[in-house]
Amino acid sequence: MQQQPKTHLNPRSPLVLDTRELPRRPGAMRTVSRAVEAPDRLGLDLIGVPKGATLDLDLRLESVSEGVLVSGTVTGAVEGECGRCLAALGETLTVRIQELFAYENSTTDETTDEDEVRRLQGDLIDLEPVVRDAVVTALPTNPLCREDCPGLCAECGEPWDDLPADHTHDQIDARWAALTQLRTEE
Ligand SMILES: [Zn+2]
Ligand SMILES: [Zn+2]
């Protein structure tokens, strides 16, 4: 037995599922359809589901011989900013999840590692890492407000979208050039 000390799950945590209502008989099924608050931020640096945002869970819990198969969708509002122009981004993201959680002391529990197959803790399922992985995978690492976002002017930092087409900093450059010239003439 190589039992590792386990952190105890809080059954009232929004992304912890209680399977007590689900008979441990293969084929038994329960649905979970509810809105919860994201217990933590889920996502990447520039984009993610903020802590406290509403997550709509639409899940099916199915008893299989070695554990519980959780499948369905999680939907939440994503907030972020464009990687080029820093404009605020907001969209609704739906991720599909499908994950097996093995019963403690089942054959699967004894023959696989916890990073291969997730485990139930007693009757509880910790869905947070699964949702987190699915959200992170679905999000772009370099989010853009639109595919051809021109970004910011490197000189003044204004978004190109807000600047006139002939925007340029040549004038300033010319003045600097003149100053440089004066100095060399001294
Ligand atoms: Zn942009
Ligand atoms: Zn500029």
Q: What residues pack around ion ligand 2 (CB closer than 5 A)?
A: 153, 155-156
d(CA 157, CA 150): 12
pLDDT tens-digit profile, the chain (186 residues): 445 445 688 888 999 999 999 999 999 999 999 999 999 999 998 999 999 999 999 999 999 999 999 999 999 999 999 999 999 999 999 999 999 999 998 898 899 988 889 999 999 999 999 999 999 999 999 999 999 999 999 999 999 999 998 999 876 566 666 666 666 655
Please compute Rg for the chain using Cα positions: 26
Distance 7 CA to ligand 1 centre (A): 42
Q: Report which bound ligand comes closest to the CA of 82.
A: 1
Question: For residue 160, which ligand has an atom nearest its CA?
Answer: 2
Q: Which residue has the tokens 């060399």?
A: 184
Quick one: which of 99, 96, 79 has its CA closest to 145?
79
Reference 68, options 33, 120, 114; nearest CA is 120
